[in-house]
Chain A
Amino acid sequence: MLDISAGRSRYIFRDRLIQLLIYTAVFFVSAVFIWILADLVRGGISHLSWNFLIDSPRDAGRTGGIGSILVSTILILLVALVVALPLAWTTAVLLAEFVPVTSQFGTMVRYSLQVLAGVPSIVFGLFGNAFFSIYLGLGFSILSGGLTLACMLLPILVSTAEAGLRAVPDTYRMSAAALGMSRTATLFHLLLPAAVPALAAGLLLGIGRAIAETAALLFTSGYVERMPGSLLDSGRALALHIFDLSMNVPGGDAPAYASALVLVILLLVINIFSMKLAFGLQSKRIMPA
């Protein structure tokens, strides 16, 4: 990053003070995270093993593993993303590119998404149960859970995508117009690739939120710990399993910690993988400015 050494001595003190404050904040946040991680490791590392990742749970989850649970979790995540991403990104593109800033339609859509962001996860769960499981007849299933999660992810995905698109400089759009590109072409070949860092950041935030969800899935994708045979089967998500082990099953602390560790590692893998993908995409299409 550009290093601007403080030329004016008046501001050296102020700058250094701010730097100190920022470093303290960062230190504090890192310390807490490492503390939590250390507690997780201490509690769960003994329970972790290759078999843990593959076996199904036994004795209410106290022994055995989390294999079937991992499969259910990934399926729920995939369903949620496949449904939410197109919906969210089309909304964001509409809000950023095709609708005037002051239009009523745009304001209403943005407003309803902001409100959606504040709905408690348990209300999502109850709604998902009433609408997807009962009204649409999907029952307790991975599909119900994924669809409910998709509703929860909309605000995050739309908000970050819209911010990202708006940040692309107008010069791109004007150059595209000067070259005679249609708006569709501009969108797909210029604007979206340029906004990829923001889109990816939003995606990761969304994935993080989805993986961490408990209350919404309890009433929709359910509690069954068996390996799911299809999307219409009930399947327990990893966060729900952790909740059950730590708060419902006596003596389930160690597998709860171990499962939490697996979740964190899974998230790390997803993060690294999608960041590589996102930046690979961007560098192929657009040279960094």
Chain B
Amino acid sequence: MTWLKHSIMFPSVFTDKLLRWVLRSGAVVSALVMAMIMLFLLVESWPVFQHLSLTRFITDSSWHPLEDAYNLMPMLSGTLFASIGALFLAIPLGIASAIFIVYYASPRSALLYRRLIELLAGIPSVVFGFWGLTTLVPLINQFHPPGASLLAGILVLTLMILPTIALTAYAAFSAVPNEYMRSAAALGLSRWGMIYGVVFPAARTGIVAGVILAAGRALGETMAVLMVAGNVVQHAESLFDPIRTLAANIALEMAYAMGDHRSVLFVSGLMLMLLVMTLSGLAGWLGKNRYA
């Protein structure tokens, strides 16, 4: 009965009530941050809303802000293609990595590989961009000029979001209770049968959480994509066409944008946020009651 000595019981009801209020305020502050950012974007893009009609962002001839053309659609499609392509590659690779660490590798190689993934998670986007610019782009250029393209953007984004998916999947897999495995073994399931049939459903919420985080990261990634994707504002017709994403556009032009141009850049930031809100809403609606 050693724990009696340290009186860990906190027997008074008051502590629980206090805790609840502390927790609630923490959560409210967290939720407020998004509201503040939204407000900020609205305030900064307001000047443009007053004298520019919204359809211009869809129907203008091209994106040439200094010549009063503000079509955001090609960049929207660029953003979507790059992120979806990256998720398409990163989800299998990330989950495979997590499965390897938990179910296939020897303890030493599991640790080693996990360290590798954790390090990959910490490499700055500029280093990925830099490596992409000096190594990946010339490589792609050999096959199909100009090299800086949607493909380069997808590959670099994959490398960046893969650790997120792998590490959250790893945490989810580790949390699956051991009794499940023992029951599966007792029933004579093969290793993959156990993983596919027992572990995946049990860890599904964790994996989905990781994928959503990774998708958010992919949509908002700025630096690396700016360096390797070519930055030409156009709808991509092949994997080798250069594209520009909304986030990269803000980074590229904000430094030198004045007046209307600057406000339109904030509008594109708002558009990106709306995109993320729609996707999150969709994911939430599809996975309703995923915790129940």
Contacts and interface: CB of A to CB of B under 8 A. Distances in A.
Given A166-B291, A198-B175, A122 B254 contact: yes
B189 to A, nearest CB: 7
30 contacts: A14-B190, A18-B192, A22-B104, A25-B93, A90-B22, A94-B23, A95-B27, A101-B291, A102-B292, A118-B280, A119-B37, A121-B220, A121-B247, A123-B247, A127-B41, A151-B33, A156-B164, A163-B175, A167-B172, A180-B9, A182-B10, A188-B8, A198-B174, A205-B167, A205-B168, A208-B121, A214-B124, A267-B122, A268-B115, A271-B118
Given A25-B97, A109-B31, A160-B171, A6 B124 contact: no
Interface string A142-184: 0000000001001110111011101111000000000011111
A119 B115 CA distance: 28
B119 A271 contact: yes
B24 A94 contact: yes
Given A212-B122, A243-B126, A163 B250 contact: no
A3 to B, nearest CB: 8
Contact of A94 (B27, B113, B159, B178): B27
A197 interface: yes
A153 B163 CA distance: 16
Interface residues of B, number: 115
A246 interface: yes
A160 B168 contact: yes
Given A25-B96, A184-B10, 15 more contacts: A8-B188, A22-B104, A29-B97, A29-B117, A86-B26, A109-B27, A114-B283, A118-B272, A118-B280, A119-B276, A131-B40, A185-B9, A185-B10, A198-B175, A263-B124
B216 A155 contact: yes
A90 B273 contact: no
Contacts of A185: 8-10
Interface string B106-120: 000000010111111
Contacts of A23: 100, 104
A98 B20 contact: yes
A248 B115 CA distance: 32
Contacts of B65: none
B174 A121 contact: no
A214 B13 CA distance: 46
Contact of B15 (A90, A108, A118, A184): A184
B58 interface: no
Nearest to B292: A101
Which residue, A8, A151, A182, has most C-beta atoms of chain B within 10 A? A182
Nearest to A105: B27
A29 B155 CA distance: 12
Q: Is the interface of A mostly helix, strand, loop or mixed?
A: helix
A163 B205 contact: yes
Interface string B239-273: 00000001100110010000000000000010011
B123 A264 contact: yes
Contact of A93 (B23, B128, B170, B213): B23
A271 B115 contact: yes
B16 A182 contact: yes
B93 A29 contact: yes
Contacts of A29: 93, 97, 116-117, 120, 162
B281 A111 contact: yes
Contact of A201 (B13, B34, B170): B170
A18 B124 CA distance: 32
Interface stretch (B66-74, B144-152, B221-229): B221-229
A212 B222 CA distance: 12
A91 B27 contact: yes
Interface in A89-138: 89-91, 93-95, 98, 101-102, 105, 107-124, 126-127, 130-131
Given A90-B23, A163-B209, A115 B99 contact: no
B217 A117 contact: yes
A241 to B, nearest CB: 10
B118 A214 contact: no
Interface residues on A, range: 35 or more
Nearest to A150: B33
A87 interface: yes
B138 interface: no
A4 B190 contact: yes
B169 to A, nearest CB: 10
A35 B123 CA distance: 13
B2 interface: no
Contact of A120 (B25, B220, B280, B284): B220
Nearest to B20: A98
A98 B34 CA distance: 22
Nearest to A87: B26
A69 interface: no
Contacts of B269: 120, 123, 126
B150 to A, nearest CB: 18
B46 interface: no
A93 B124 CA distance: 30
Nearest to A200: B171
Contact of B192 (A7, A11, A93, A208): A11
B245 to A, nearest CB: 9
B231 interface: no
Nearest to B22: A90
Contacts of A123: 37, 41, 220, 247, 250, 269, 272-273
